[in-house]
Structure 1
Amino acid sequence: MVRGKLSLILIALAAIFAALPAIADYDRGRNAYYDLRADGARNANPIEWRAVAGLFAGAELQGDRPADALYMSAFCYERAYAIARNEADFSRSTEYYIKLADSYPKSNLADDGLFRAGAMFEGVGDTERAKALWRRIVEEMPDGDMAGTARKSLKKRPKRIYFKEARYFSAPTYTRVVIELSDRAEYASQSLPPNIEVKRPSRIFIDLDGVVMRGVSGDELSILDGLVTRVRLGQHTPTKMRAVLDLDADSEYRVFPLLEPYRVVIDVFRSEGDGTGKLGSTGEEDIVTRLISGANKPAKKPLRTESPSGASTKTAPFGEKRYRIVIDPGHGGSDPGAVGRGGLYEKTVTLRMAKALADSLKKRLDCDIKLTRTKDTTLSLSERTAIANGFGADLFISLHANASRSKKARGIETYYLDRSSDRSARQVAAMENKNTVDSVAETEHILADVLLGMKTPESKRLAEAVQSELINYVTINHGNVRDLGVKRAPFYVLTGAVMPSILVETAFISNPTEEKWLSSSKYGGTIAQAITQAVEKYLTQ
């Protein structure tokens, strides 16, 4: 009997150890993926992407996350195709995306795979194949998060796309240019070195296919910030608009789109390297170091740690670095945000909380603080992130008040930028982004490079620290509060931030009890103390 039990234990252990290499294969693939994203030279090489795709393909065959591995393998082959336009990469990527739906139809990535495969076929002009795949989503996965987007894709008709306007945000080490269009457009970007003979500076150009400039043949933005001299906009061909950024310094850049309205965003960062190059999506860590190096001075005072009741307890050394934190009071000006049943405006609440948080952080950390707005002014979502990047912030914290159709909904939740964790997270992102749930789902695909390459682990750790302290402080000072947890979603206000960034839904303004909390200065002070405590813990760990 004992021998029989021992045999069963040995068999079980053998099974466990047999699975370990497979799990390690997936982790190895994921680590290789992030390493590749972070390497600006390697991530422009299709061979590197094929190698990582191979790691994921192996993990699909023997691992415990076959659907995830197959999706990532297809995605890596898609990246290789985008660089080299090799038909074999295209075939393997679309084959794996479709195989994902065929082999793992219950995976939440099945409809994502079909949609991406459809988009790839549409990109090469095979609209019939694309529509067939999108119909599969609608018919076989009507409850999937891509069903609504697939329906819209099936209905869309070719039409002219018009240039609407261009605007910019400027700082000494960072410039953001936003080009707004009437609809979505394909685009390609490239950097060119300076031509000394004809006195032509380094430049970045973006070609926007199918875009027409109405009434004008060209336009120009004069910036002169020491990084970007000007932006020239022109009708390059009858069916292509070109934007050219003339540069004053070596730089790195990235380009990504935002939906509703459709915008193409160009972020340019001052570089210490030679020439101008395109950023891999996780090259931001080095940029942040460059942005703030030499600009921060040692802290003058030690940290003071407070209890949830507000009493000062012990002191702790802060270190030699003076941190920079940007606080974003959500909404403002013509955008009131959510409105409570008692008439309380979200924009009013967030500004009051932001000022309280700024005061609390300065007292505790002796850091440099910047608010994206200090008055009831209107700011676009992309401007808010641009302010944080331009300031060289170490952290970006966006403050909001939640809302629901149900007055019973209550609680606190904290978000970081990534693919949506669930449908409720997607609904909150839609509310804050001012678009539809279907658009949020599509945004995750359009921003795949940005979302998968951001400082996700650091942002998640900050979100966890903030959520924990908020629940602790609010419970002690105001009574029972529902902990809705840490979630992820593609918020526009966090997109493009090159530092750990979070969005905090501090309470439900649509709940009568929590609206009263939000209207009181005491609750604002509690939120400020809690976030300060969390930031202190995050920065000193």
Structure 2
Amino acid sequence: MTGLFEQGLIAILALFFFAPGPAPDCEAGYQKLKDEYQKLRDGGGLALADGRRLQAEFRAFADQNPSCSRADDALYMAGMIGGRAFRQGGDRSDLERSIAAFKLLAANYPESNLADDALYHSGEIQLVLGDREKARAAFGAAMMVPGGDMAAKAREQLDRLADAAPPAVSPAPAAGGTASVTPVAPAPKPGATVASAAGPPPKVVARFLGIRYWSNKEYTRVVIDLDREVPYDQPHLLKPDPALGTPPRLYVDFRGAEVSPAISAATPEPGCYALPIGDGLL
């Protein structure tokens, strides 16, 4: 009996000393990242490089600690920091990483009080990226989260998308009441110039403010925003040039228009504006 008792005691002691202890406190790991973020943000602004690093670290924390009570918070921080990085650097990949983090939050933590916020912000980002259909889906999903507080805002966004649906013929008006370029009927022959009713335009009559676009599976619509109406030459298509490695290109020449200073400052090539649509059509 004594031998059996001693063996049992040894087994219990072995379990006590060698059994795995409690998991590390993931709250401390999350709070460390959050404190660093707030310190950098409040200490003169979060630099782009620091923001991207912290976005990656918040995402890595969530991936490595999926059962942590702060995993959803970490994914939310990764998503929000990506939006800030995009505003600083203009790189679409920052927004794409944000969407990935928000989607993972909503999918893996549907009970989180941040799930509907993540879906709503995904919709906002899809609007920035020009994908109205994905934005509509994200806003619709945000409305369906039980107990969420973003349903009203998501409904407002869906109403705006419905009101701003592309018209059948003419481009949508530019934001802020500025005029978009509209074809003049009857259309002249290719290469001809569309004349202004007021006669020849002055040297500069309009400023190019930017480009908006939206797509579905069948078409892409592009709206060119200027600060006023301007004469333009008929669009003409250039064939692809294998020697130069260029795809088919559509040219529209605006007479008497110039690129706005804000666009010029943000564009490497003088007088140019790059808009990567990448929807398979343009």
Deviation of 1:25 (Å): 2.3
Partner Cα separation in structure 2 for residue 92 and residue 105 of structure 1: 19
Pair 1:155–1:61, CA change in 2 (3 A):
same
Contact kept? 1:70, 1:96, Cα under 8 Å: yes
Matches within 5 A, 1:58-77: 58-63=60-65, 64=68, 65-77=70-82
Partner of 2:131: 126
Match for 2:151: what amino acid? Answer: A
2:23 counterpart of 1:23 = no
1:415-449 deviations in whole A, cap 9, x for unaligned? xxxxxxxxxxxxxxxxxxxxxxxxxxxxxxxxxxx
Pair 1:7–1:31, CA change in 2 (3 A):
farther
Deviation of 1:80 (Å): 1.1
Pair 1:84–1:19, CA change in 2 (3 A):
same
Which of 14, 37, 41 in structure 2 is aligned with 1:37? 41
- Report the secondary structure of 2:21's partner residue: helix
Deviation of 1:11 (Å): 5.7
Contact kept? 1:25, 1:55, Cα under 8 Å: no
Partner Cα separation in structure 1 for residue 52 and residue 15 of structure 2: 41
Deviation of 1:239 (Å): 6.8
2:115 counterpart of 1:150 = no
Partner of 1:49: 51
Deviation of 1:134 (Å): 1.1
1:169-222 deviations in whole A, cap 9, x for unaligned? xxxxxxxxxxxxxxxxxxxxxxxxxxxxxxxxxxxxxxxx93359xxxxxxxxx
Runs of 4+ aligned residues of structure 1 deviating over 2 Å after TM superposition are: 1-12, 22-25, 209-213, 236-240
Pair 1:8–1:119, CA change in 2 (3 A):
farther
Percent identity, aligned pairs only, is 30
Partner of 2:105: 100
Deviation of 1:85 (Å): 1.4
Matches within 5 A, 1:390-469: none
Deviation of 1:10 (Å): 4.2
Contact kept? 1:26, 1:55, Cα under 8 Å: no
Contact kept? 1:121, 1:129, Cα under 8 Å: yes
Pair 1:119–1:23, CA change in 2 (3 A):
same
Matches within 5 A, 1:474-489: none
Could you tell me which runs of 5 or more consecutive residues in structure 2 were left unpaired when the two chains were aligned: 1-7, 166-173, 179-207, 210-224, 228-282
Partner of 2:175: 210
Q: Which has the larger radius of gyration?
A: 2
Contact kept? 1:50, 1:77, Cα under 8 Å: yes
2:80 counterpart of 1:78 = no
Contact kept? 2:59, 2:101, Cα under 8 Å: no
Match for 1:84: what amino acid? Answer: G
Deviation of 1:138 (Å): 2.4
Partner Cα separation in structure 1 for residue 153 and residue 11 of structure 2: 56
Pair 1:46–1:145, CA change in 2 (3 A):
same
TM-score (normalised: structure 2): 0.51
Partner Cα separation in structure 2 for residue 137 and residue 152 of structure 1: 12
1:455-478 deviations in whole A, cap 9, x for unaligned? xxxxxxxxxxxxxxxxxxxxxxxx
Match for 1:47: what amino acid? Answer: A
Partner Cα separation in structure 2 for residue 32 and residue 2 of structure 1: 48
Contact kept? 1:28, 1:55, Cα under 8 Å: no
Partner Cα separation in structure 2 for residue 74 and residue 127 of structure 1: 19
Deviation of 1:5 (Å): 4.7
Deviation of 1:132 (Å): 0.7
Partner of 1:480: none
Contact kept? 1:53, 1:73, Cα under 8 Å: yes
Partner of 1:373: none
Deviation of 1:110 (Å): 0.8
2:93 counterpart of 1:88 = yes
- Report the secondary structure of 1:143's partner residue: coil
Deviation of 1:117 (Å): 0.8
Pair 1:111–1:239, CA change in 2 (3 A):
farther
Contact kept? 2:52, 2:82, Cα under 8 Å: yes
Pair 1:23–1:150, CA change in 2 (3 A):
same
Alignment length (residue pairs)? 164
Deviation of 1:151 (Å): 1.7
| Larger relative contact order (Cα-Cα within 8 Å, sequence gap ≥ 6) | 1
Could you tell me which runs of 5 or more consecutive residues in structure 1 were left unpaired when the two chains were aligned: 160-208, 214-235, 241-541
Partner Cα separation in structure 2 for residue 62 and residue 7 of structure 1: 30
Partner Cα separation in structure 2 for residue 85 and residue 3 of structure 1: 64
